Amino acid sequence: GLGNVTADAIVQQQEMTVSGEENVPAAEQVSAAQGADGAPAAQEPPTDTRAAAADGAPKEGSNQDTTAVPAAVDEGTKEEPAGGEASAESAAPPSDEKTAEPEAPARVESSFRLPEIDAEFDVWLKGQLDASPADAKDTEDFRYLTFSELPPFTDLHKSLMRKTMTPELFAKLKDVKTSKGYTLSNGMQAGVLRPHLGVGFTAGDEESFELFKEVIYPIVEGWHKFNPETQEHKSDLDPSKVVMSDEQAALFQKYVKSTRVRAARNISGYALPAGASKEDRLAVEGVLKEAFGGLPAELQGTYYPLGGLTSEQEDALQAGGFLFQKPGPMQLLGAAGAGRDWPDGRGIFHNDAKTVLCWCNEEDQCRIIAMEDGGDIKGVFGRFCALSDSIKTASEANGKSLMYDPKLGFLGTCPSNLGTGLRASVMIVLPELNKDVHKLEEICAGFDLQPRGSSGEHSAAVGGKWDISNKQRIGFSEVELVQKMVDGITKIIAMEEELAAKNAGGGEVAAVGFKLPEIEPGFDAWLEGQLTASPADVKDTDEFRYLTFSELPPFTDLHKSLMRKTMTPELFAKLKDVKTSKGYTLSNGMQAGVL
């Protein structure tokens, strides 16, 4: 997150290793939603780096610090082009036309201070600051550095930017500049000054994704395991396509305390916060205010400009967890320059019912959050989609479009939040599964969900309250991600009820109908172990389980299939983690021949 969290909101950060490095955030989460009891329902780490160090462990966005979305709130936004097509034109490189060379900007007296990282590196950094020419984007409290050479990174620098940036690539791109004046050094600055960031690179405008694609694409692949060179993103913001039965809806209302969906939207033609001028920020604010004015009745509300808040309004927004603060120098946004000219052009919108919230010009131009106490995920997703569509419509009415790329999806400041950029999450009470964190993680893994306890990943939750969200951002549509959430939470609730019935003294619960065959004692024991260790599969039913083989089966003399003859240890190792777009794996295909 990039803003401050309410007093009782704890931003959780998860640690994740990227490309073998430690302390690399995994994705992005921000804010906490308020549960029915009024307590913060959950928190999410911010994007990009969510500090490999601390975000609670967001480690979900690697370039970012965490911002808590207030109790009872979650960030979210996700605008999508009609019909799933790109709603905004791809970034184009600057024109080749010769224009008069602008005068070099005068250096602004600045209170900007460098961090202390490592004695030798600090000396190098001070030299770079002193030698950096003035930048038109500089302000009294912030300076953009221009690196004359590839930074001599320390062992503390863990970002994907550091891994990607070779001397040859730096030399090739160091003098490239977008039409908005954003440079390679501008994009690298947060990752250089804040070693703990996991992504380490920020985009300053739409053109950044084209001009610096040799930096951004490898980062995207390293973070999301998605290759923009060979794959395309897809978008679907039709909430009617989410399948949820009345029985599932009733279960969600019983167990889920709060639900939220959030994402970011940015308007083509204006710079992103890390590279924006004051004029761009004000123009974005104007378009968003127009969008808020055109919302349907249930989403109508009030826009509060940060620079014009009364003390009463500030207290009310702070109490609700809706207020965001100027990013500190140790946070991603602070180091990237997104806090310049504070608080001009920034503001907060929420509807009268406080079930939708928008942050204007924080980490992105607009962060959309839809939230609600209870488990009506379809309703929350529907409001999210309506809000996203309104921003798209207002942008088009002003001759603009949303930043969208066919390969990368919705564009934003941090590469960790591309694609859908969507985080759908629930705060759910699971007292029985809370006793077996490993079992809960296994079930979640089968649906690509991420459980967070009170101290981040791999920890139990105080009171059994878990924040569970989607892991993926890019390569899947919004509808697909929400559907995985519905299916996964349904499975989790079923397991919770099964354990509760067993622990209530009712003896062993009726076992799931699936039974393993008896083949040979030693093989049967191995097979039972594989079944126990297999994560949940979205294709499982009450009477059937898909196994995930962790190793090549120790076939018996009874196994006569061509599959057995074909499957070598090398071939198994090569293909065991491969999965089709429909979720079919090597183990799925082998199962009949093994059993």
Answer yes or no: is 455 a known binding residue: yes
Answer yes or no: is 454 a known binding residue: yes
Answer yes or no: is 490 a known binding residue: no
CB 200 within 8 A of CB 161: yes
Q: How far apart are CA 500 and CA 299, in angstroms?
A: 39
Distances in Å between the alpha carbon of 331 and those of 45, 46, 52, 454? 12, 10, 11, 22
Answer yes or no: is 261 a known binding residue: yes
Answer yes or no: is 561 a known binding residue: no
CB 115 within 8 A of CB 330: yes
Answer yes or no: is 281 a known binding residue: no
Q: Which two tokens stand for residue 224?
A: 């999301």
How many CB atoms lie under 10 A from the CB of residue 246?
Answer: 7
Whether omega before 343 lies within 30 degrees of 0, making that bond cis, reads: yes
CB 56 within 8 A of CB 43: yes
Report the run of H or E that residue 284 belongs to, with start and end. Answer: helix 278-293
Answer yes or no: is 456 a known binding residue: yes
Q: How far apart are CA 31 and CA 1, in angstroms?
A: 7
How many CB atoms lie under 10 A from the CB of residue 398?
Answer: 15
CB 94 within 8 A of CB 180: no
- Cβ neighbours of residue 498 closer than 8 Å, sequence gap 6 or more: 509
Q: Render the burial of 160-185: b for 16+ CB within 10 Å, e for the rest.
A: bbbbbbeeebbeebbeebbebbbbbb
Q: How far apart are CA 252 and CA 486, in angstroms?
A: 9
Q: How far apart are CA 48 and CA 66, in angstroms?
A: 9
Per-residue DSSP letter, 416: G
Q: How far apart are CA 27 and CA 191, in angstroms?
A: 16
Q: Which two tokens stand for residue 22?
A: 């430690």
Pairing of strands 21-24, 301-305: unpaired
How long is the chain? 595
CB 75 within 8 A of CB 356: no
**DSSP helix/strand/coil, 231:** coil
Answer yes or no: is 380 a known binding residue: no
Q: Which two tokens stand for residue 335?
A: 């180091």
Answer yes or no: is 587 a known binding residue: no
**DSSP helix/strand/coil, 120:** helix
Answer yes or no: is 423 a known binding residue: yes
* 139 bridge partner residues: 142
Answer yes or no: is 258 a known binding residue: yes
Q: How far apart are CA 334 and CA 566, in angstroms?
A: 56
Answer yes or no: is 154 a known binding residue: no
Answer yes or no: is 452 a known binding residue: yes
- DSSP codes, 327-359: PPTTSHHHHHTTTTTTTTT-EEEEETTS-EEEE
How many Å is the Cα radius of gyration of the chain? 25
- DSSP codes, 494-545: HHHHHHHHIIIII-SPPPPS-------HHHHHHHHHHHHHPPP-TT-BTTB-
Answer yes or no: is 62 a known binding residue: no
Answer yes or no: is 488 a known binding residue: no
Answer yes or no: is 453 a known binding residue: yes
- DSSP codes, 136-194: TT-BTTB-----SS-----TT---HHHHH--HHHHHHHTT-B-TT--BHHHHHHHHHH-
Answer yes or no: is 543 a known binding residue: no
Give binding residues as ranges: 258-262, 367, 423-427, 452-457
Residues of each annotated binding site for ATP: 258-262, 367, 423-427, 452-457
